[in-house]
């Protein structure tokens, strides 16, 4: 018998965080995945302090959006798992966000904060970053856990986390998520639910890679893995 395993993927490096095993057929797994999936939006807010003592707040800068999904959590009722690079803001100096707008010699400090929102069933809700895991045991993780301010009457599906040790090279997978170009993308062709087929091309430790290149906006998506001969 076949089964589908739902997994978080990260852009370029694909970290395996398999979720609750869902019985076949594949269509059932797809529907459950969609009912747990969300779009994640990040706006970066920068506070610049100058040597003169002045403070400047930059207009929030939309980042590339991403995906996430509701997971079961002991500490948070509405926990969402996503990729850490989806919800973190770039360094002001490293990224040259405004290379011509400021005299860098006059800047003393720059602090930034990520303003997070999660979209579920067409509505957006505020979210707080509660845990950021970039590396552990010398392995890149690229994971973040969000706590979403979801009204109590909004019903949603949650999935649980497992190890997924039975994944192997050549396994067929289906990428499930939303593709988007920016935090404010309005084009329905780029913000609708997408299902794409791929194959696991490499596994190193707890990290997998897929054969096809992933697009910006797909970070944090789930994949469905169909395994043969499993109860």
Q: pLDDT at position 122, please?
A: 86
Q: pLDDT at position 25, please?
A: 60
- C-alpha gyration radius of the chain: 19
We report the CATH number of the domain holding residue 75 as: 2.40.10.120
Q: Distance from CA of residue 22 to its chain's centroid?
A: 21
Q: Distance from CA of residue 87 to its chain's centroid?
A: 8
d(CA 25, CA 1) in angstroms, rounded, equals 10
Range of the domain at 215: 3-227
Q: pLDDT at position 217, please?
A: 73
Number of independent structural domains in the chain: 1
Question: At 191, is the secondary structure helix, strand, or coil?
Answer: helix
pLDDT digits (tens, 9 = 90+) for 18-65: 444 444 566 777 788 888 899 999 888 888 888 888 888 777 878 777
The greatest distance separating any two alpha carbons of the chain, rounded to the nearest whole angstrom, comes to 70
Count, in order, helices (H) and strands (E) of the chain: 2, 15
What is the residue-averaged pLDDT of the chain? 74
Q: Which residues of 151-164 are buried (b: 16+ CB within 10 A; e: fewer)?
A: eeeeebebbeeeeb
Q: pLDDT at position 54, please?
A: 84
Question: At 152, is the secondary structure helix, strand, or coil?
Answer: coil
Is the CA virtual torsion 22, 19, 147, 76 positive or negative? positive
Q: How many CB atoms lie within 10 A of CB 59?
A: 8
Ranges under pLDDT 50 in the chain: 1-23, 182-185, 187-190, 229-231
Q: pLDDT at position 80, please?
A: 94
Q: pLDDT at position 206, please?
A: 64
The secondary element (H helix, E strand) that includes residue 30 is helix 26-36
Question: To the nearest whole percent, how much of the chain has pLDDT over 70?
Answer: 66
Residue whose C-alpha is closest to residue 182's, from 10, 95, 59, 63: 63
Q: pLDDT at position 9, please?
A: 43
């Amino acid at each position: 018998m076949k089964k589908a395993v739902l997994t978080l993927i990260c852009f370029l490096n694909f970290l395996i965080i398999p979720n609750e095993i869902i019985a076949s057929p594949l269509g059932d797994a797809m529907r459950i995945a969609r009912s747990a999936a969300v779009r994640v939006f990040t706006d970066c807010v920068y506070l610049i302090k100058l040597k003169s003592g002045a403070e400047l707040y930059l207009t929030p800068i939309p980042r590339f959006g991403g995906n996430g999904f509701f997971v079961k959590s002991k500490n948070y009722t509405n926990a969402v798992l996503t990729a850490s690079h989806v919800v973190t803001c770039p360094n002001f100096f490293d990224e040259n966000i405004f290379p011509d707008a400021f005299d860098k010699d006059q800047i003393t400090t720059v602090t930034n904060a990520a303003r997070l929102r999660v979209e579920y069933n067409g509505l957006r809700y505020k979210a707080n970053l509660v845990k950021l895991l970039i590396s552990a045991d010398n392995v890149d993780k690229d994971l973040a856990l969000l706590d979403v301010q979801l009204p109590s009457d909004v019903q949603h599906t949650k999935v649980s986390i497992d190890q997924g040790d039975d994944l192997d090279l050549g396994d067929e997978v289906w990428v499930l998520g939303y593709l988007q170009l920016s935090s404010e993308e309005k084009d329905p062709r780029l913000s609708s639910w997408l299902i794409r087929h791929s194959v696991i091309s490499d596994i190193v430790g707890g990290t997998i890679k897929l054969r096809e290149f992933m697009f910006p906006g797909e970070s944090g998506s789930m994949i469905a893995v169909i395994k043969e001969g499993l109860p």
